[in-house]
Amino acid sequence: MLFYDLQAIFGVYDGHGGSRAAEFAAKNLCNNILGERGSERNESDIEEAVKRGYLTTDSEFLKEKDVKGGSCCVTALIKDGNLVVSNAGDCRAVLSVGGFAEALTSDHRPSRDDERNRIESSGGYVDTFNSVWRIQGSLAVSRGSGGAARKFLYREKKYKSFEGEEEEEEEEGVTRVRERDGRREQKV
């Protein structure tokens, strides 16, 4: 977790094929996102900084010697009460709403029709083993960092933004979430 001005960034990393990619992402991803952030002017600039931070971390890891394995990851960047979440793979951001868990991200799995179609249109294949969908007969996740042998299959990451709203009265320990005009608004 890193703090700068009125912001915080958090990350969770889950390696596959060893811990090296997860350790690399844990050491570099949040710093790369903050380094790309610069002087963003609006929400789409922040989302672009997060995207560049993920891609920079991935590219840097792939330049390491004897690259093996990969990592799923999820990040949450909170800036001035606004939240930008991003994930690659099956690490998930979850928010408690009225005591109920609500997923803020979607797992990237080859069992999803959109992911399976994307993989197959990229020249990969998806099959099942012991009732689990896998890419190239191996991984049960369809996006991540590292994974040089399957890089063409999961380079793109997904992002979501949530705008905070000003409230005159705020109860301690309460997180407010509202859905309006197709946008989720959240006060952290």
The CATH fold of domain 2-106+143-187: Phosphatase 2c; domain 1 (3.60.40)
How do the domains of the chain map onto residue ranges? 2-106+143-187, 109-142
**DSSP string covering 63-129, please?**
TSTT---EEEEEEEEEETTEEEEEEESS---EEEETTEEEESS----TTSHHHHHHHHHTT--EEEE
| pLDDT in single tens digits along all 188 residues of the chain | 555 567 889 999 999 989 999 999 999 999 999 888 765 555 567 888 888 999 999 999 989 888 888 999 999 988 877 888 999 989 999 988 889 998 999 999 999 999 999 889 988 889 999 999 998 888 898 888 887 556 544 445 555 666 654 433 344 433 444 433 333 444 44
